[in-house]
Amino acid sequence: MPAIMACAGERMWYHPAWFARHIPDLDVAGAALEQAADNPAASQRMISYVG
């Protein structure tokens, strides 16, 4: 598997826009929460998204 990934290079991580709409946006590091803490409008969007 690592050899296939090395041969594919950057193409390995390419996803078309139509595919990106169908997969969830995982925020493992919590960057969206940090932005929400700094920006009240973003925190309102986050609350409406989660709740």
Contacts of 5 (CB under 8 A, 6+ apart): 12
Residue 47's pLDDT is what? 52
More confident residue, 25 or 2: 2
Q: What is the identity of the amino acid at 22? A: H
Query: Per residue in 3-50, pLDDT tens?
Result: 988 998 888 888 888 887 888 877 777 777 787 777 766 555 555 555
Residue 5's pLDDT is what? 87
**Domain of 18, in residue numbers:** 2-50
What is the count of structural domains for the chain? 1
pTM of the model: 0.31
Q: Which two tokens stand for residue 38?
A: 């700094």
Residue 34's pLDDT is what? 81
Whole-angstrom distance, CA of residue 44 vs CA of residue 29: 20
